[in-house]
A = this chain, B = another copy of it.
Amino acid sequence: MRQFIVLGHDAPTTAEFALDDLSGAGRLDVLCRCVGAAVFLSHGIRESVRIHLVIADEYTIRFDSDTLRRLYPDERTIAARIRDALDQREDAIGHLPAEVSPGMALYRFGFEATLDAVADEGTVVQLHADGTPLPAASPPSDPVFVLSDHTDFTDREAELLSEQADQRLRVGPETLHADQTITVAHNWLDTAGYSEY
């Protein structure tokens, strides 16, 4: 299983946003591209991938590639599904999520609760300018990559992540968008031991 947690600091917490202006809706376009990068291949969906969008530290929307249905990679379609999820936020109570549609659930969890829950399931990876360059690192089992949207981690988020991180990696010399980082991470995992592919 590969997992990604993406922090959407300014993302809307209600369904009251316009699909015509995703950038204006707290840069929801970035989060939508993250979902696409995480779950889609050309003409297919990856197996065993989960992506958790943390919405304004209040809700977390989980996409599970193994059970997702009727999702398409364009930003607007993904945003419409996020809107559906937020529309059902009242159904998420305590640890019980709102089951939005196959493969999608909304939890009343902020970053700390989501990270706590997911950290036990794999190897938490912190992406950091001082980390080991990907080509020099060994892919961990069941990696959990934690990423931020267009803004940096807050001090508190960075602290929580440092406490949980099992591995520190560096994607490259350029600072990529979160969705681009997901694509690079997938390819790194896909091609580890490249002589065999």
Contacts and interface: CB of A to CB of B under 8 A. Distances in A.
B175 A41 contact: yes
A131 to B, nearest CB: 11
Contacts of A20: 19-20, 76
A30 to B, nearest CB: 8
Q: Is the interface of A mostly helix, strand, loop or mixed?
A: mixed
A184 interface: yes
Copies of the protein in its oligomer: 2
A76 B183 contact: no
A70 to B, nearest CB: 13
Interface in A5-30: 19-23, 29-30
Contacts of A154: none
Interface in A28-56: 29-30, 33, 36-37, 40-44, 46
A135 B191 contact: yes
Chain A, interface residues (CB within 8 Å), range: 35 or more
A77 interface: yes
Given A20-B20, A194-B136, A172 B150 contact: no
A175 B75 contact: no
20 contacts: A19-B20, A21-B76, A22-B74, A22-B76, A23-B72, A23-B76, A29-B75, A30-B73, A33-B36, A41-B175, A42-B177, A46-B174, A76-B76, A133-B194, A134-B191, A135-B191, A172-B191, A172-B197, A174-B186, A174-B190
Given A41-B177, A133-B191, A134-B194, 16 more contacts: A22-B76, A23-B74, A23-B76, A30-B73, A33-B33, A41-B174, A41-B175, A46-B174, A74-B75, A135-B135, A172-B190, A172-B191, A172-B197, A176-B183, A176-B187, A183-B183
